[in-house]
Structure 1
Amino acid sequence: MSDQYSKTGPAPALATIVSQTPSTDAASSAHYDLRPFRTEGDVFHPLSTTVPGIGALAESARAATRAEQKMSLGQGFRLYPKAVLWSILISSTIIMDGYDMSLLTSFFTFPVFQKSYGEPVPVPESQQGEGQDPSYQISPVWQAALINGTQVGVIMGLIGNGFVTDSFGYRRTLLAALGALGAVVFLAVFAPNIETLLAAQILCGIPWGVFQTLSVSYAAEVMPVVLRGHFLSYINLCWVLGQTCGVVVIRALVDTESVWAYRIPFALQWVFIIVLVTGVLFAPESPWWLIRQDKPEEARKSLLRLTRPRTGTVCVDETIAMMIHTNKIEKTLTGDGNISYLNCFRGVDLRRTEITTMVSVTQQLCGSTLTFYAAYFYEQAGFHVRDAFNLAVGMYGLAIAANVISWFLLPFVGRRRLYLAGAALSLIILIVGGCVSLMPQTPAQSWALGSLIVILTFVYQMTLGPICYTLVAEIPSTRLRVKTVVVGRVAYNITSIVTNTITPRMLNPTAWNWKGKSCFLFVGTTVLCLVWCYFRLPETFGLSFLEIDILFQKRATAAKFRVFQRNLELSGYNDLPGCNDRGIDVWERY
């Protein structure tokens, strides 16, 4: 496999492949059933006799896939250093999303914000006449409206992004979203009343919706298999970093009595926007998107900007051949070759959409909502406002550590087992938290509840939080990835609207006032999610996108994904120059 490349002019190998491959597949008008082939232990060569127009691509595609699967973590960083940096930059748009979300929920316990946008709480008769100033609260109705208004805007941005990114690409879409957000932040900073603030949150939600899916898809498409899980889970760390920044900023301004105590945190988003726009202007487009647009030469140039091919065995031309090969197979599998939301609900893609959706929704249903309201939860549990924010800051610091730990667990435990463990541990913590809340309220009981929320945060950020982003990017087909991730994220945000409507009422003393008993509600939903994960969630660790495509097309059960991976290892498929020289059928037991 050659490692000599020129950055100017088309490579002979690629030119040959493109010339031998029809630009318009005859297969695009017909649906081919790939389930019957299983006579050879090879993912690629039997496809050449089943799908027209890909024979010239099979050998290069197999070589590129084998090279990626043999790649060590250290080699991945050495060969794809620029992809690492660009992925970190694009994923950092999520920091703004997490930052603002933590601002809004933390503002509900912020005295100046409560006084500016809240309603006075009547002073008890026993304290009247003592010159005590009335306290203020944002009503549960307005809390829900502000949070859910943001989610409505996010859903609008998500759905729009499914069309815009597929048409205009990642880079131009992201630049437009950042520009729009910069304009709308003015409205949030200078909102004179809570109605204007609600409008600002809805409008800000639209670009945030773009960030939520675009960052996931971009990271999946610029990373090799060995780095994919780590940098997709990094997206969850961006959420945590954003939330941590928000809580730290508010903690620093908690004693400030002017309106700038909450205007400054909103205005700091302009700093994020300036830095990100400067970087995104120079970011390479996703090579997978360029392949879907039938621009293989531009995809090759983009891949060269993401890699350092002279330092190792990565072959740009073979990698491009693998992308073209996978794209053509997926066009055949979808029958009409179209990229639309309807295709997410047809054939085997329906199952992929179900898994993506349920993995996303599980994040909301396993008690994580309580951690988002950490400072408010602590205050209503009996903590002083300053102590509540101190605990919240410590909790987010622990969450960052948990995310980093997940990177080390991912290669050894896998996606499925780590996700199942997270759901099971969350269930245990929620049951214990609910039982503790039944005891009389004392300082010890309040600290016990606060500690359990911290532990729940640690478990969530080590398992369900980061692994979700890895799974939702790997499960969809490459052609439908953006739209499938959008569908999953829309489901997440709809579920978020429900939980964000219920949670303030459960915690607010002027509403249901459940406090720690709120854990019991999430016990039931966590049980349902745990059962679903056990029977329906497959293991995708170490598999290429094409291998995942074929496993879904063969309707392999969740357990069979792991069987296939073991068969690949036993066959020597990833180690030997020839494919399956040991004569082992990797499709055995299908």
Structure 2
Amino acid sequence: MGAVETNERGEVRESQTQQGERKLGLLANWRILLFTLYIGMSLFEYGYDKGAIAGFQAMPGFLQVFGYQLPNGTWGIKPDPQRMITSFMTVGSLVGAMSTGPIGAHLCRRYSLMLACTALLVSIVLMVVTTSFGVLYFARILCGLGNGVVMNFAFVYLQEVTPPHLRSLCFGIASFWITFGTTLGMVVNNATVGVAGRLSYQIPLYVCFPIPVALILSLPFLPESPRWLLHHNRPEEALKALRFFRKGAYDEVAVQQEFEEMKAVAAREAESEKNWRLVFELFKGTNLRRTIVCVGVTCANAGVGAMFILSFGTYFFTIAEVDSPFKWIVITNCLGVVGLFLSWFLVQRMGQRRLILAGCVICSASMVTIAALYTAPLSSAKAGVGLIVATSFYLFGFNLGLESYTFLTSGELPAQNLRAYTLGLSVGVSFIFAWLCTFTTPYYINPAELNWGPKYAWIWFGSSLIATAFIYFLLPDVKGRSLEEIDEMFRNKVPTRAFKTYVCVEIEEARARGVMNALAGEKALALDEKPSGKHVESVS
């Protein structure tokens, strides 16, 4: 480790602070990457729901139970059930997201995920067995509750255990499960759409069972978040958990330095304060700025019209008279997966701010293309081809920068004691806008109502431009920064453009204390291992 100079009081000089060894390669950090893949599984059902349930609205087996038969013998769905099926899930997600703060004050991250997975299992069973609208609507609300809690705690858990240089990549990997779930839902729907009767939509629902069951059985055996443990006055367990997550990548000095950074924040804040008034801290002092940025960035997901494309994609292609809509929605979503994979390589170099901005620009361009195609006097065949291409680019851009990195940003900017509250509020407000989209979209695109069809994209083009401007002017660049560094910069009111170059003094002091702790540990170990014996004088 090398020599460390100290002053007359035994303190490490700031200019001589030693840095512990941190291996930044993926191979050295295999443990945290594997853990990310595991926790990311909890997001599968949220993505699968967008792919599978959205397709049910164009599936004869489902419509025979919850739809009506047209004079020509085909099946359709009325606007009210269409609106309720999607919007009730969003309302449930809103309630689940807003409950994140209070739940996190009482339950650890792992047990919160287990509770949410239980709610998801119950909702799946109800959707499989029911033929009643009332039970179906209740199941959709319960499904939303589970997904709202899962999304928030999965992201919070990952934010609190991943090292700063891998946080963006880990979020991209975890969000793979959302995109994978959406794609698999569409693929399974395409395979079962021709199955007679209720099995056509029950089979896709059966696919949802294994992952929640596996998580419920295995989560109790994993370490808890070190930051959650620290904020609940359990420092020994926190240090042990941090050593587990950094094993093989950090030496003891680096672990102690990171632990001291966490302790410095925990000394000021206490998430374990179970006071509902804590939520008002979101709108006071420097926390107000964090809240505005976090809510605005997360709302960019809804602001670019994601729910319009994701929740009504198959139905949207159907009313636009695109041939084989189930197959084309799968193909376009696969191009979205390409965007997600590409983001894994770009985020380490560009940072999530630039990727989010790029995603907003691509989504804006796609929306104006879709709207223009169906406003101009084109043949249905040419417009259909253009719609497929524009939708493909939209999903590429959305997965490249928005699907995962907006949630990352809204969870890494808040104060530690308000992280669950802020992320819950951000996702909750985003779900409100998503609900407005799913609730009102049928009126615009359904042939029985306004029948705008793809021209509805004009609205989302304007909304996408607003989201792009917000990201450009208000979102700071925190690439490679620890959660504690971000906290210090917000408390010191650092301007948005200065985040990238700001030097965090408090963090340097914490790292110096970490060096002293490691040295003290090495000294104690040396004394323990030193052989001892008795001096025996010879007797003449």
Per the TM superposition, whether the score is higher than 0.5 is yes
- Contact 1:157 / 1:210 at 8 angstroms: preserved in 2? yes
Amino acid at match of 1:447: V
State the secondary structure of the residue aligned to 1:146.
helix
Shift of residue 147, structure 1, vs aligned partner: 1.1
**Structure 1, unpaired ranges of 5+:** 3-54, 124-131, 579-590
Task: Give the equivalent residue in structure 1 for 2:359.
Answer: 422
State the secondary structure of the residue aligned to 2:194.
coil
Counterpart CA distance in 2 for 1:56 and 1:195 is 70
- Contact 1:353 / 1:484 at 8 angstroms: preserved in 2? yes
Counterpart CA distance in 2 for 1:288 and 1:63 is 24
- Number of equivalences: 500
Shift of residue 529, structure 1, vs aligned partner: 1.5
Task: Give the equivalent residue in structure 2 for 1:409.
Answer: 346
Give deviations 1:70-95, integer Å, cap 9, x for gaps: 84641x541x4333222322221110
Counterpart CA distance in 2 for 1:169 and 1:496 is 28
Match among 108, 119, 129 for residue 169 of structure 1 = 108
Q: 1:554 to 1:298 in 2, by over 3 A?
A: same
Counterpart CA distance in 2 for 1:57 and 1:482 is 36
Task: Give the equivalent residue in structure 1 for 2:167.
Answer: 228
Task: Give the equivalent residue in structure 1 for 2:64.
Answer: 115
Q: 1:394 to 1:548 in 2, by over 3 A?
A: same
Amino acid at match of 2:31: K
Amino acid at match of 2:232: Q
Shift of residue 311, structure 1, vs aligned partner: 7.2
Shift of residue 314, structure 1, vs aligned partner: 6.1
Amino acid at match of 2:86: I
Q: 1:190 to 1:59 in 2, by over 3 A?
A: farther
Amino acid at match of 1:402: G
Match runs of 1:184-203 below 5 Å: 184-203=123-142
Task: Give the equivalent residue in structure 1 for 2:224.
Answer: 285
State the secondary structure of the residue aligned to 2:355.
helix
Counterpart CA distance in 1 for 2:75 and 2:299 is 34
- Contact 1:309 / 1:316 at 8 angstroms: preserved in 2? no
State the secondary structure of the residue aligned to 2:404.
helix
Q: TM-score normalized by structure 1?
A: 0.79
Task: Give the equivalent residue in structure 1 for 2:527.
Answer: none
Counterpart CA distance in 2 for 1:56 and 1:102 is 61
State the secondary structure of the residue aligned to 1:293.
coil
Task: Give the equivalent residue in structure 2 for 1:474.
Answer: 412
Counterpart CA distance in 1 for 2:466 and 2:183 is 30
State the secondary structure of the residue aligned to 1:211.
helix
Task: Give the equivalent residue in structure 1 for 2:41.
Answer: 92
Task: Give the equivalent residue in structure 2 for 1:217.
Answer: 156
Counterpart CA distance in 2 for 1:239 and 1:405 is 16
Amino acid at match of 2:219: V
Counterpart CA distance in 2 for 1:412 and 1:375 is 35
State the secondary structure of the residue aligned to 1:564.
coil
Counterpart CA distance in 1 for 2:41 and 2:132 is 31
- Contact 2:294 / 2:410 at 8 angstroms: preserved in 1? yes
Shift of residue 150, structure 1, vs aligned partner: 1.0
Task: Give the equivalent residue in structure 2 for 1:152.
Answer: 91
Is residue 491 from structure 1 mapped to residue 429 from structure 2 by the alignment?
yes
Give deviations 1:259-317, integer Å, cap 9, x for gaps: 11111212222222222223313221101100000111011221233232487566433
Match among 352, 358, 368 for residue 431 of structure 1 = 368
Match runs of 1:11-22 below 5 Å: none
Counterpart CA distance in 2 for 1:364 and 1:351 is 21
State the secondary structure of the residue aligned to 1:281.
helix
- Contact 1:296 / 1:320 at 8 angstroms: preserved in 2? no
- Contact 1:81 / 1:308 at 8 angstroms: preserved in 2? no
Shift of residue 492, structure 1, vs aligned partner: 0.7
Match among 37, 53, 67 for residue 104 of structure 1 = 53
- Contact 2:42 / 2:215 at 8 angstroms: preserved in 1? yes
Counterpart CA distance in 1 for 2:267 and 2:439 is 45
Shift of residue 550, structure 1, vs aligned partner: 2.0
Task: Give the equivalent residue in structure 1 for 2:214.
Answer: 275
Task: Give the equivalent residue in structure 2 for 1:375.
Answer: 314
Which one is further off, 362-371 or 196-205? 362-371
State the secondary structure of the residue aligned to 2:238.
helix
Counterpart CA distance in 1 for 2:194 and 2:10 is 68
Match runs of 1:63-74 below 5 Å: 67=20, 71=22, 73-74=24-25
Counterpart CA distance in 1 for 2:23 and 2:400 is 23
Give deviations 1:323-366, integer Å, cap 9, x for gaps: 1112224569xx99998211111111111111111111111111
Task: Give the equivalent residue in structure 2 for 1:450.
Answer: 388
Counterpart CA distance in 1 for 2:453 and 2:253 is 55
Task: Give the equivalent residue in structure 2 for 1:526.
Answer: 464
State the secondary structure of the residue aligned to 2:69.
strand
Task: Give the equivalent residue in structure 1 for 2:441.
Answer: 503
Q: 1:118 to 1:338 in 2, by over 3 A?
A: closer
